Amino acid sequence: MILVIAEQQGGTLNRTSLETIAAAQQTGSEVKVAVPGADVSAVAAVLAAAQVAEVLCVQAPALEAYTLDGYVAALAQVVQDERPDHVFLPHTYLTRDFAPALAVRLGMALVTDCVGVRWQDGALIAARPMFQGRLLADVATSGPALVTFQIGAVRADSLVGGGAPAPMRTVTVAIDAGAIRQKPEAPFREARQAVDLTQAERIVSVGRGIKEQDKVEMARQLAAAIGAELGASRPICDLGWLPMDRQVGSSGQTVAPKLYLALGISGAIQHLVGMKGARTIVAINKDPEAPIFEVADYGIVGDLFDIVPAMLKELQG
């Protein structure tokens, strides 16, 4: 049996847990899922939709906020009670914090950041990258091990759903709250920018081709029409037409949205470096020689003052 430790914070499931469950399912073993927290019934219901043997709600008031000591105490109890062959976890920040201590507490091996597992002569072999991805190492463990999975290594949509919801069981763990050495504070969000373009799935970006400050409004409308954030190249921010936190570039924000629409942006390398990670790049520019066309997936050589209103009409009409 493989026990998957799922992660939730504030009642929201960390969806990488689903990837880990999929990885466990693919081994062909029986899979159980444990999720720690103060009250995890809602999250457990989501997990129960997967084809697993059981979902354990590992609950205690002390687990309301994440603490290293609380989680280690709770999960150690669960693992000792359930006695799985192996424990799978997603390689999240939280996992990185508590998994080492948990492994030591349980006397189990810990293999981290794995991209896959397979069986060989009845033993589990975990594959993990080394030297910044230049080599892939097969790690064999003797005995039960904790294995953490690299985020994105297993696709969440390969998760097999169960017909009926899996049975849920509450496991109350006894944790000595006084023995918890960490004192959690309110979550810290780096509030340097009001706008976080790095989280945007779509960005409409304006460059010097927009010519005048009041024309930026047109780009704003386009962004609103497709549910995109508004971004800009450096000249626009330098001129004060858009605030600095909208600048995309090598020292502005580096973004990797699904869609990047570059309006009147020439594609100087400082800007390109900030957005080349975008999945699909659409560029509109009057200059056929503009460097942006080297990286664009779709390019329109033309006047954006003709094209963008036409696009808006299509989208809004």
Partner 1 sequence: MHPAEIWIFRFVFLAFIGAFGVQIATRLRLFLRASNNIRVPDGESGVRIWRVAREVILQSRTIAERPLVGLAHLGVFWGFCAFALFTTVEFLRGLGVADLTATAWFATYALLLVPFALAVLVGITGLIIRRVFVRPPALGTSVSKESVLIGFFIITLMVTFLLDFTLTEGVAARVNWWVHELVILSFIVVIPGSKHFHLLVSPITVYLRSSDLATVPNLDFEREQVGLETLKDVERKQVLDAFTCVECGRCQVNCPAHATGKLLNPKTLILQNEDALLAGRMDATLADIFEATALWQCTTCGACEHHCPVGVEHLPLVIGARRGLVSNGDAPDVLGAVYNHLERRGNIWGLGADQRQKFVQAAGLEIFDSAKHEYLMWLGCAGSFEADFQKSLRSLFEILRARGITFGVLAKERCTGDVAKRTGNEYQFQELARANIEDFRAAGVRKILTSCPHCLRTIGVDYQEFGFAVEVVHSSVLVAAITRDVSVPVTSQVTFHDPCYLGRYSGHTEEPRTLLQRFGASISEPARHGANPFCCGAGGGLLFEEHEEGKRISQERFEQLQATGAATIVTACPFCSIMLKGAQASANSAVEFVDLMTFVEGRLKTVQ
Where do contacts with partner 1 occur on this chain (CB under 8 A)?
A: 132, 207-208, 233-235, 238-239, 249-252, 266-270, 273, 276, 289, 291, 294
Q: Considering the complex, what minimum distance in angstroms separates the CB of residue 142 from partner 1? A: 35
Distance of CA 165 to the CA centre of its chain: 26
User: Which of 59/233 has CB closer to partner 1?
Assistant: 233
Give the 3-state secondary structure of residue 92.
coil
User: Which residue in 64, 52, 90, 55 sits closest to 11, CA to CA?
Assistant: 64
Q: Considering the complex, what minimum distance in angstroms separates the CB of residue 310 from partner 1? A: 26
User: Which of 144/267 has CB closer to partner 1?
Assistant: 267
User: Which of 81/303 has CB closer to partner 1?
Assistant: 303
Sign of the Cα torsion 272, 275, 281, 286 reads: negative
Give the 3-state secondary structure of residue 25.
helix
Q: Considering the complex, what minimum distance in angstroms separates the CB of residue 295 from partner 1? A: 9
Count Cβ atoms within 10 A of the Cβ of residue 105 and give its class: 0-12 exposed, 13-18 middle, 19 or more buried. Answer: middle
- Do residues 84 and 32 lie in contact, with contact meaning Cβ atoms separated by under 8 Å? yes
- Do residues 315 and 226 lie in contact, with contact meaning Cβ atoms separated by under 8 Å? yes
Overall size of the chain counted in residues: 317
Token output for 115: 């991209």
Q: Considering the complex, what minimum distance in angstroms separates the CB of residue 39 from partner 1? A: 41
Q: Considering the complex, what minimum distance in angstroms separates the CB of residue 198 from partner 1? A: 14
User: Which of 17/205 has CB closer to partner 1?
Assistant: 205
User: Which of 59/266 has CB closer to partner 1?
Assistant: 266
- Do residues 251 and 269 lie in contact, with contact meaning Cβ atoms separated by under 8 Å? no
